[in-house]
Amino acid sequence: MHRLTVTDLDGKPVSLAQFAGRPMIIEIWATWCGPCLANRRTVHALRPSMPERVVVVGLSIDADSPRATGAELVKGYLRSNPANDFEGMASAEFMEFVRRINPSNSIPKTMYVDSKGRVADLSEGTQSAKWLAAMAKNLK
């Protein structure tokens, strides 16, 4: 996982290696996806009780449209909703990595990554608060 690059909301490449040594919960989502937004609300409600070492990353798959870029859609969403520790756009490289683990095109997907960059679990759909809290607590 730490070898992968995504983009920030300004279009600059960002290596996930910057989070090496810390567990990550990665939300793969889109602004138009109702279950994704519900999952984000659950994560944000739990965030204050999660261990500080856990980094919550949001990676949008919003596509560019005639009216706005995917990143602009995410920025618009974040103007009135809480942000994760890092918000960015999923790269083709990142999504290819995800497809090797789980070929389904459905979202939301939540990846649980240990501090060494190994994927401990990848879940589809909205996650229960109990599951998210347990995963955050047990990620090493």
For residue range 50-97, what is the model confidence (pLDDT) as tens digits?
Answer: 999 999 999 999 987 778 899 999 999 999 999 999 999 999 999 999
Burial class of residue 103 in the structure, from the number of CB atoms within 10 Å of its CB (0-12 exposed, 13-18 middle, 19+ buried): exposed
For residue range 20-59, what is the model confidence (pLDDT) as tens digits?
Answer: 999 999 999 999 999 999 999 999 999 999 999 999 999 9
The pTM of this model reads: 0.94
> Using CA atoms, how far apart are residues 136 and 132, in angstroms rounded to an integer?
6
| Residue range 5-138 in CATH 3.40.30.10 | yes
DSSP string, 32-47: T-HHHHHHHHHHHHHG
